[in-house]
Structure 1
């Protein structure tokens, strides 16, 4: 009995020790002093580069930036890299039946037939507006499309133009999930009003909020502690903040670039204006004559200026002779030209402008040669270069595809709901969305990975063929597969067993051809000897 008691006590003691080691500390055990100081230590300081701005100011800046030719070309390239497109038909999105519908069940056949029937119509509908949807999404961080549907037919029309421009739409969210929209509309009398739409009337492309944008918000005033509640239904509905735009971190470099461009243009204009300075000696001229003489000289110069300007506008020929008579007395009133004292001696430099432009393009992940500066480096859609090899282009392509897939799924679900009256769950979608993107960076990277894996498979297969010819024992094969080929132990054991079985099958086939009994495995011979 004492042994049983000691055994049980040891078990209980080990359980208590393990419970002590694995016990989770409680928040109540944290010293109250840390909580008192936390409100003053958390967060960040306000800085001139982190100044909060209102929503209209931020969107106005984004709208100005996208008017720039370089930024416009960069955004178009990023959308092209993400969406791709068929080289002949120009189609971008393809809708296929889901993989789990490949079985022969009656429901699977019905759903597969439904998806195949509606896919062509939906593809044509989506391909007509997907580029604009993606472009607005990466420019503003959000993009919208108005949906019109008819019961029994499906989605009949989609609007994605200036009427649904993101600055004029405020999305409302609960815990990050979109619940509705407010749209700014104005009539012919410039009277502004708000139109309210639901998620069944409008779809939203929401880019990931990777870097928060400093901005003013009423959320902190109206809802002080949004994260305190554990029930998602009790979380308040708030306006969605601005964020997710690819331009938010390019703004500073773009402003510096615009400033440098303005300085260069102003200097070029200033250099094109020739200024002539003259001196006249009026020491022996009476005061009244001095005044008349200076006024006449100024009037003659201005008249010549006006004649030249009129000639450039299409008046008198610019090569016409313009004669100005300057009277003089003796040698005192001779006009002496001093020349252009503001003439530039050093050439203008574009280096500072290009520095800020490279910063902007580097933030967008593009080679500067792809956005109109072809003299910098070789590259482009034709011969590949940075468009296909840039890791940033591929990363941003993945972000665009993730963001745009969600509203497309919403659109297709709405179409099936209008068409059949059935509402499919997102966890059991009968379709899948594919992008045709052989010209994109993501597709190039995927093809390169496939080629690398194929080459690796070929080399590995050749190595296994050579290993098979050696006919080594299991231990030797395991050493070669793990130490030299770099396989895991389980993989080496599986492949080694396959090699052994393949060798045995070849021996059996050779024995059968020669009319001999099948060879006995060495392990079986040893087993018979032991018996």
Structure 2
């Protein structure tokens, strides 16, 4: 025992001496070791290099939002974003409720009472959840104006008027500290961080855009005191559409090319040459007027049939008299170069559509193109194609959950003057995800984990029955069953120390379970062995 204490003392003593040595070295070093480094030969990387190239130049905030707003008016883009939101949020089959605020098992009575008072906030957020999440997916941010009264809490919630492109958030050290809402060139409203809530999607792509003032960025980067920080306008980003603009433009170009080709191919022109030799001027005029009248009547008859949708039930005859090989006509037909659009290749359009759907994280077969479903998926293939949307569903849920917590904090501050910290919240925000892709993936992962655990138990029971030594069981599980070495040691020890199964005392085959089994050489009541 004394040796153990001595060993521990020696270990802690060595760690203490090492720490003192490191602290001594740091104290001898200059305050900023970077001051003596020359940057003459350093490779320069400027912000202008990251603002985009000629094909993707840096754009203003309004130009980016204008492009995204134009894209969400497209039926395909709108359907994909709606499907993402529906997969993430789900909804009750009758009430349509999406989120539920439920107390944790260890919540106190006072916290449970406060959580019961928050149920009206859940009802309000259920009405605005899909709209806010759709705008957040489209623009990267979504906002709502909160109306609170001291001592009463929140009494109104508006997520429609603060349209995302109209709101400029200001951030400081990654935290939103205020908002400026522009309703016109000279109409602006300022709000602090308690008057509004923001659903902010995580930024994953550096979107080329006009930056804020570089001097203010330099001040914030070098500041060591919070009082020296300056609120800066937050940059645009986080939208699902930020990486799909080029794919969308290519799809539109392919569609316009195919449609233009079909329109050009649908043009049918006919040239008629009439022989007017040896005719007087009156005869020529009469002949040409009759020919013009005949062609106009043919055109009018065709347009009327298309407009009314009626079929022609009689045959039309046109008589053109000739004599002495005069008035003979030469007719030449000119059709479109694409043969009425037959040469238009739809595969180019479908390739662009599949690439756009892949960029937006969804399968094209789920937005109306069921013919794209491959035969190898078999039954239930539609559900499996939604697996690629599960990650985006997680992003939407986590972002909206932060919005729910911010809303509850504003209400609690206005009503009670306090709110919960993130690690002390006595409630959980649960989503009704019966049709959500994320729930399907979680259920599949849970089933696979349970199946793997059951197979592991069966293998452990077989090793216990065989009476293998502990070291062999540990090695077998670590190498053949790919169990972690630490876990394999625990499992092998548990198998070795497991109690043998209790003997089956039941009579079986309809016998009395309480009747003891017959031992060898025992006799029955009749004396038979």
TM norm structure 1: 0.77
Counterpart for residue 6 of structure 2: none
Counterpart for residue 338 of structure 1: 332
Aligned 8 A contact 1:70 1:372 in 2? no
**2:285 aligned with 1:269, yes or no?**
no
* SS of equivalent residue, structure 2 residue 498: helix
Counterpart for residue 247 of structure 1: 241
Q: Tell me the distance in 1 between the aligned counterparts of 2:141 and 2:395.
A: 13
Q: List gaps (5 residues or longer) in structure 2.
A: 1-13, 504-529
Task: Within 5 Å, give how 1:435-474 maps onto structure 2.
Answer: 435-474=431-470
Q: Tell me the distance in 2 between the aligned counterparts of 1:389 and 1:298.
A: 60
Aligned 8 A contact 1:389 1:445 in 2? no
Task: Within 5 Å, give how 1:328-477 maps onto structure 2.
Answer: 331-342=325-336, 344-345=338-339, 346-377=342-373, 384-385=380-381, 387-477=383-473
The C-alpha deviation readout for 1:360-397, integer Å capped at 9, x for no partner, is: 00011211111111222179xx9753554555311111
Counterpart for residue 480 of structure 2: 484
Aligned 8 A contact 1:308 1:318 in 2? no
Q: Tell me the distance in 1 between the aligned counterparts of 2:304 and 2:486.
A: 91
Identify the range of structure 1 (449-458 vs 214-223) with the bigger mean alpha-carbon deviation: 214-223
**2:136 aligned with 1:137, yes or no?**
yes
Counterpart for residue 165 of structure 1: 163
**CA shift for structure 1 position 207:** 0.8
Q: 1:498 aligns with which of 494, 497, 515?
A: 494
**CA shift for structure 1 position 139:** 0.5
**CA shift for structure 1 position 497:** 3.2
**CA shift for structure 1 position 401:** 1.5
* SS of equivalent residue, structure 2 residue 187: strand
RMSD over aligned CA atoms reads 3.9
Q: Tell me the distance in 2 between the aligned counterparts of 1:278 and 1:172.
A: 72
Q: Tell me the distance in 1 between the aligned counterparts of 2:76 and 2:315.
A: 46
The C-alpha deviation readout for 1:322-373, integer Å capped at 9, x for no partner, is: 9989898854543311012436434432111111100100011211111111
Identify the range of structure 1 (200-209 vs 131-140) with the bigger mean alpha-carbon deviation: 200-209
Q: Tell me the distance in 2 between the aligned counterparts of 1:98 and 1:392.
A: 31
**CA shift for structure 1 position 455:** 1.5
Q: Structure 1 residues 258 and 477 mapped into 2: Cα distance closer, same or farther (>3 Å)? A: closer
**2:78 aligned with 1:72, yes or no?**
yes
TM norm structure 2: 0.78
**CA shift for structure 1 position 154:** 2.6
**CA shift for structure 1 position 402:** 2.0
Q: Tell me the distance in 1 between the aligned counterparts of 2:379 and 2:125.
A: 30
Q: Structure 1 residues 500 and 318 mapped into 2: Cα distance closer, same or farther (>3 Å)? A: closer
Q: List gaps (5 residues or longer) in structure 1.
A: 1-10, 103-107, 508-531
Aligned 8 A contact 2:267 2:336 in 1? no
Q: Tell me the distance in 2 between the aligned counterparts of 1:63 and 1:278.
A: 51
* SS of equivalent residue, structure 1 residue 236: coil
Counterpart for residue 178 of structure 1: 176
Q: Tell me the distance in 1 between the aligned counterparts of 2:236 and 2:51.
A: 20
* SS of equivalent residue, structure 1 residue 340: strand
**2:41 aligned with 1:27, yes or no?**
no
Q: Tell me the distance in 2 between the aligned counterparts of 1:243 and 1:328.
A: 76
**CA shift for structure 1 position 461:** 1.6
Aligned 8 A contact 1:365 1:390 in 2? no
Q: How many residues align?
A: 478
Counterpart for residue 95 of structure 1: 101
Q: Structure 1 residues 426 and 490 mapped into 2: Cα distance closer, same or farther (>3 Å)? A: closer
* SS of equivalent residue, structure 1 residue 203: strand
* SS of equivalent residue, structure 2 residue 449: helix
